[in-house]
C-alpha cells in the first residue's frame, strides 16, 4: 500500500475472503467456477478493502471528515471505518433507493445520512463539488486509494489458484472495482506471481447500462440498486480493462439477475445481494452465447452479502412461507402429506 511504514492504520481486518468452489453452476456452464465471496468482509461488501486505505489516508492527511455518494455499500463501509478512526462521515444517498441493511449500517455507525432527491450520479456530482471546496475527503472510488485497496482481491485469487483464472465475471456500477481487479492482476503478473492474465467480463444491469449502450443513462433503473448508476466515474478505465484483457462489458436483465440471485442461494448455499448476482447471470448468458469455452477456470465476484437487502429477499416470502397452527398433529400431517417426509 502506498504509505510510509510508520503511522496509524485504520482497519477492521478486511479481506482474506474465501474463494468458494461452485457445486451447481459449474455443471450448468461446464467450467470450474469459483465464487470470490466478498460479502464476508466486515461490513458485508468488497468496499471495505478500499475503505481501509482511503480512511487511513484521510487520517494521515489530518482531515476530520469524509464524504461519499453511495447506492448503499460505500456509505456503510465509509461510516464504519470513519467511526473507527474518530472521523465525521457524511453520506449522500439517492432517496428511497438504498437497501435497508445498508441504511441501518450507516445510521448505526453514526454517519450523517443525507437523502437527496435524485439518483446516484447526481449525488456523486454534489459530493465532488462539496469535497473540492471544503476540508472533507472524498472516499468514493474516484479516490485512487480506494482502488489500491480493492486490487488486493485479485492478489488473493491468484494466491489461492496459484495463477489467474481464465475469466473473471464481475458486476459493474461506478466501475471502480473492475478497474481495481485489472490493476491487481497486472501487478501480480509483472511481479511474476501469476503466469497469465484473466479475461475480465463486466456486467451492468440492462436498465442501467451506460457503458454497453455507449451513452449516459439519465434515469437508470434496476432492482439491483447497488449498480443503479447511469454515468460511471471509472467508465473509461473499465472499458480499457475489459478490452486490454480480451474480455468485454455486457448487460443482464433484472429477470436474469433475479434468477441468478435465487439460484446461488438455493443451489450453492450462498446468499449474495442482487447486484452481486449480475456476475453469475452474466456467466450463464455468456456461456449460452458461446463466449466461454468449456473446462475453463472462472471466478465470479459476489460483491455483497444478501443480508444487506432483506426487502429483495422477502419480496415473495409470503408465497413461500407455510402458515400453520402451533399444533404437532397439524405440522405432522403437513410433513407427511405435503412434504412426503417418512417416519422413523
Ligand atoms: N456490487 C455491489 C454490491 C455494489 O455495492 C457495487 C457498487 C457494485 C457491485 C459495483 O461496483 O461501483 O465499483 O463498479 N456500489 C457503490 C456504492 C456504487 O455506492 O456502494 P463498482
pLDDT digits (tens, 9 = 90+) for 204-233: 999 999 999 999 999 999 999 999 999 999
134: enclosing H helix or E strand = none
In a domain, 266, yes or no: yes
In a domain, 158, yes or no: yes
pLDDT of the residue at 318:
82
User: Is the distance from the beta carbon of residue 273 to the nearest atom of ligand 1 less than 6 Å?
Assistant: yes
In a domain, 179, yes or no: yes
Residue 276 CA, closest ligand 1 atom number? 1
Distances (CA, A) of 87 to 4, 63, 185: 21, 8, 32
- The CA-based angle 15-61-110, given to 5 degrees, is 60
> What's the CA gap between 23 and 42, in Å, rounded?
26
3-state SS assignment for residue 248: strand
Residue 140 CA, closest ligand 1 atom number? 19
Same domain, 175 and 304: yes
Residue 58 has pLDDT above 90, yes or no: yes
pLDDT of the residue at 171:
98
Share of the chain above pLDDT 90, in %: 98
Mean pLDDT of 291-318: 95
> What's the CA gap between 44 and 207, in Å, rounded?
25
CB distance 305 to 341 below 8 Å: no
User: Is the distance from the beta carbon of residue 70 to the nearest atom of ligand 1 less than 6 Å?
Assistant: yes
Mean pLDDT of 236-250: 98
> What's the CA gap between 205 and 24, in Å, rounded?
23
Residue 199's pLDDT band, with cuts at 50, 70 and 90, is: very high
> What's the CA gap between 331 and 205, in Å, rounded?
42
DSSP state of 238: H
User: Is the distance from the beta carbon of residue 303 to the nearest atom of ligand 1 less than 6 Å?
Assistant: yes
Residue 198's pLDDT band, with cuts at 50, 70 and 90, is: very high
User: Is the pTM of the predicted complex or chain greater than 0.95?
Assistant: yes
Tell me how crowded residue 221 is: count the other CB atoms within 10 A of its CB: 15
Same domain, 158 and 259: yes
In a domain, 343, yes or no: no
Q: Whose CA is nearest to atom 11 of ligand 1?
A: 173
pLDDT of the residue at 317:
82
Same domain, 103 and 160: no
Same domain, 127 and 159: no
Residue 276 has pLDDT above 90, yes or no: yes
Cell of 73: 455499500
Tens of pLDDT, residues 95-126: 999 999 999 999 999 999 999 999 999 999 99
Q: What is the mean pLDDT of the chain?
A: 97
Residue 319's pLDDT band, with cuts at 50, 70 and 90, is: confident
pLDDT of the residue at 134:
97
Give the long-range contacts of residues 254-258, CB within 8 A, separation 24 or more.
Answer: 254/205, 254/206, 254/207, 254/222, 254/223, 254/224, 256/281, 256/284, 256/285, 257/205, 257/222, 257/223, 257/224, 257/281, 258/223
In a domain, 331, yes or no: no
The alpha carbon dihedral of 272, 269, 336, 343 has a sign of: negative
73 alpha carbon – ligand 1 mean position (Å): 7
User: Is the distance from the beta carbon of residue 174 to the nearest atom of ligand 1 less than 6 Å?
Assistant: yes
User: Is the distance from the beta carbon of residue 71 to the nearest atom of ligand 1 less than 6 Å?
Assistant: yes
Same domain, 183 and 270: yes
For residue 113, the domain's CATH number is 3.40.50.1100
Q: Whose CA is nearest to atom 8 of ligand 1?
A: 173
pLDDT of the residue at 315:
87
Share of the chain above pLDDT 70, in %: 100
User: Is the distance from the beta carbon of residue 282 to the nearest atom of ligand 1 less than 6 Å?
Assistant: no
Tracing cell 488486493 back to the chain, one arrives at 152
Question: What is the span of the domain harbouring residue 133?
Answer: 47-143
In a domain, 336, yes or no: no
Domain boundary residue, one of 110, 143, 176: 143
Tens of pLDDT, residues 123-148: 999 999 999 999 999 999 999 999 99
Tell me how crowded residue 259 is: count the other CB atoms within 10 A of its CB: 16
Tens of pLDDT, residues 71-100: 999 999 999 999 999 999 999 999 999 999
Same domain, 41 and 58: no
Q: Whose CA is nearest to atom 10 of ligand 1?
A: 173
Same domain, 81 and 171: no
3-state SS assignment for residue 107: helix
- The CA-based angle 170-233-245, given to 5 degrees, is 40
pLDDT of the residue at 104:
98
Same domain, 135 and 150: no
Same domain, 309 and 168: yes
Same domain, 212 and 127: no
Residue 56 has pLDDT above 90, yes or no: yes
In a domain, 183, yes or no: yes
> What is the tally of structural domains in the chain?
2
Residue 196's pLDDT band, with cuts at 50, 70 and 90, is: very high
Same domain, 239 and 120: no
In a domain, 5, yes or no: no
To test the pocket of ligand 1, the residue of 67, 71, 81, 178 to mutate (highest count of ligand atoms within 8 Å of its CB) is 71
Residue 316 has pLDDT above 90, yes or no: no
Distances (CA, A) of 318 to 146, 267, 314, 315, 322: 40, 21, 8, 8, 8
Domain boundary residue, one of 83, 114, 143: 143
Tens of pLDDT, residues 5-51: 999 999 999 999 999 999 999 999 999 999 999 999 999 999 999 99
Residue 320 has pLDDT above 90, yes or no: no
Same domain, 92 and 202: no
Tracing cell 449502450 back to the chain, one arrives at 213
Residue 273 CA, closest ligand 1 atom number? 3
Amino acid at each position: 500500500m502506498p504509505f510510509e511504514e510508520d503511522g496509524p492504520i485504520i482497519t477492521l481486518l478486511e479481506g482474506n475472503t474465501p474463494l468458494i468452489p461452485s457445486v451447481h453452476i459449474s455443471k450448468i456452464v461446464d467450467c470450474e467456477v469459483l465464487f470470490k465471496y466478498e460479502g464476508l468482509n466486515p461490513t458485508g461488501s468488497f468496499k471495505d478493502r478500499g475503505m481501509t486505505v482511503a480512511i487511513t489516508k484521510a487520517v494521515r492527511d489530518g482531515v476530520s471528515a469524509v464524504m461519499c455518494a453511495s447506492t448503499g455499500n460505500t456509505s456503510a463501509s465509509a461510516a464504519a471505518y470513519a467511526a473507527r478512526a474518530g472521523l465525521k462521515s457524511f453520506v449522500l444517498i439517492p432517496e428511497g433507493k438504498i437497501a435497508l441493511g445498508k441504511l441501518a449500517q450507516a445510521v448505526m455507525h453514526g454517519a450523517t445520512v443525507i437523502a437527496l432527491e435524485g439518483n446516484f450520479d447526481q449525488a456523486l456530482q454534489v459530493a465532488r463539488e462539496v469535497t473540492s471546496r471544503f476540508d472533507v475527503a472524498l472516499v468514493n472510488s474516484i479516490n485512487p486509494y480506494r482502488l489500491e485497496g480493492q486490487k488486493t482481491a485479485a492478489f488473493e485469487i491468484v494466491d489461492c489458484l496459484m495463477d489467474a483464472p481464465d475469466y473473471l465475471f464481475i458486476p459493474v456500477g461506478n466501475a471502480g472495482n473492475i478497474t481495481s481487479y485489472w490493476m491487481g492482476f497486472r501487478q501480480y503478473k509483472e511481479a511474476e506471481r501469476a503466469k497469465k492474465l484473466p479475461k475480465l467480463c463486466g456486467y451492468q444491469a440492462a436498465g442501467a447500462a451506460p457503458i454497453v449502450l455507449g451513452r449516459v443513462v439519465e434515469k437508470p433503473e434496476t432492482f439491483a440498486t447497488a449498480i443503479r448508476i447511469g454515468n460511471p466515474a471509472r467508465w473509461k478505465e473499465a472499458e480499457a480493462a475489459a478490452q486490454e484483457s480480451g474480455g468485454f462489458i455486457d448487460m443482464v436483465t433484472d429477470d436474469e439477475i433475479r434468477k441468478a440471485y435465487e439460484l446461488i442461494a438455493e443451489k450453492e448455499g450462498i446468499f449474495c445481494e442482487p447486484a452481486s448476482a449480475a456476475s453469475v447471470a452474466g456467466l450463464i448468458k455468456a456461456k449460452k452465447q458461446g463466449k466461454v469455452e468449456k473446462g475453463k477456470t472462472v471466478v465470479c465476484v459476489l460483491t455483497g452479502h444478501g443480508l444487506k437487502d432483506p426487502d429483495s429477499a422477502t419480496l415473495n416470502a409470503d408465497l413461500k412461507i407455510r402458515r400453520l397452527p402451533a399444533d404437532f398433529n397439524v405440522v405432522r400431517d403437513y410433513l407427511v402429506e405435503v412434504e412426503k417426509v417418512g417416519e422413523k
